[in-house]
Chain A
């Protein structure tokens, strides 16, 4: 065979591989979609919505951590800001429809994200983590003292209202499909982002920032945009959560929550699309199951233990390990 033959052969086989992989992904996604559509008939919808909200939160976080390589230890601030803003608006302005409240909450979280990004981007690596943690603590203090949040008690009785003024969200099924639609929209958006040229630059920054700089990319701008998108989606997750539970509380703003979303992303598989979703599902379930049983008081140390084990033993997370396995064994 001549060299060109070999080359075209290799290209063809790569194409074939991509095709099978794409088909595999398509089938997997299709099955998941059907499961998600049917789930509320089998499982308690509010619990499912909780999972979806946290899954969106983790997907948002993963865009920054998994794809850009920036470890934010302050994402709770965006979740809480989205939640409180939406909760406050919907409780106090009865003329607002639900989606307007959610959009407003997301916008405020986005602006906060821009502020965080502009400050924290000035430091790198572990300093970045400390700066975001400290800024989030500042936001926490604000919510503790602000008159409208209800302090330690939280903000109760947020009305779910009607979507577009038409669809009654008090009904759990309606609410579920709305949350699902928003979640899927965001998931597809993130999928689109990471496979776009922009997403590839983010990955390049993660792999080797100085190389990206020397290739002429204005790295800081890319990082800031990734941070802002991530904050916006986290805020959206918080907004929806406050509508679903009709409650916004200080728990969402606590650094503990920032740690939890890291755990979700890490355990599911950072830098993968499905990983954070799986991780959120797992962590929410673990917390719920443990909360019911005799180990009720041991949730925190157990989560800490899972954290340590994940970091020590399987850093690529569940989805990452499965991907490795598939690549190795199924060509």
Chain B
């Protein structure tokens, strides 16, 4: 078997694949954060909890109502999106005029509540979700074995990322969104219902997180605390990439997944810390982030 720096090449490709998949999740989550940040100017600390809700909903819908994976792929994000709209309408809106730090703390409280309640009901040990039959097995590419489901995760995540980018950059609705990012007061003056747009934006942002949650359900262990760790990693990703651009969020997410995968291959003990270390380096040499405009 061929080796690279003492590592079998198949292992390297395997870790690279896992890295790209993790990166796809980072990309989806930081994309949602960036969308929400654009219009609301807040960091959604409940983003991890929404991701977790998406995954939990997939499992619970299957266990109780027998809802299959494909339906869940649409239903779970919609349900979580509704939760998001409610959170925005009843909570965030009330403090919209205050310092953004308060909205951040509010979403942190919301995350604690969601995570705490679900932990009490389902425990922290994790729920099992069996993979849909279509995705069992995989294909041998010659240099490595590619499980079908992992290929699907990458394709689905990339499609959604691209779709979101297209919607924001190329459509009328996206133009409203970008205009709101620049100056929401002026836009309101033009007769556009900004409060509605804000609600929907928050809802859409958390839908992306929930979609990532559904994708994660068959491959990661589904627990009420699954969101909190990945959220902190995604924060580091966001600091590295900057929240300024949609494309930047996607690219940085996937890149960091790959970096993590490579570290796991060549120096495993550092793999959980490497993204944070990259963040430290970026802060030292390019404080505004790779794609960031503002400080």
Q: What is A's interface to B at a CB cutoff of 8 Å?
A: 71, 119-120, 122-127, 129-131, 133-135, 137-138, 141-142, 145, 255, 259, 262, 266, 297-308, 311-312, 315
Contacts and interface: CB of A to CB of B under 8 A. Distances in A.
Given A298-B116, A311-B102, 19 more contacts: A119-B280, A122-B295, A123-B288, A123-B295, A125-B100, A127-B239, A129-B101, A131-B279, A131-B283, A134-B276, A135-B276, A137-B276, A138-B280, A299-B116, A300-B119, A303-B112, A304-B109, A312-B94, A315-B98
Would you list the 3 A-B pairs with minimal beta carbon distance, nearest first?
A: A304-B112, A307-B109, A300-B116
Interface residues of B, number: 42
A125 B102 CA distance: 11
For the residues of B in contact with A, the DSSP-based class is helix
B210 interface: no
Contact of B109 (A71, A124, A125, A311): A311
Given A137-B232, A141-B273, A305-B113, A312 B295 contact: no
A266 B105 contact: yes
Interface of B: 42-43, 91, 94-95, 98, 100-102, 104-106, 108-117, 119-120, 228, 232, 235-236, 238-239, 269, 272-273, 276-277, 279-280, 283-284, 287-288, 295
A301 B269 contact: no
Contact of A134 (B101, B108, B111, B235): B235
B232 A255 contact: yes
Nearest to B103: A311
A134 B239 contact: yes
Contacts of A125: 100-101
B79 to A, nearest CB: 20
Contacts of A308: 91, 106, 109-110, 113
A122 B287 contact: yes
Contacts of B110: 304, 308
A302 B104 CA distance: 18
17 contacts: A71-B104, A122-B283, A124-B295, A129-B43, A130-B43, A135-B276, A141-B276, A255-B228, A259-B112, A266-B105, A299-B116, A301-B116, A301-B117, A304-B109, A304-B113, A308-B113, A312-B106
A218 B40 CA distance: 31
A302 to B, nearest CB: 8
Nearest to A71: B101
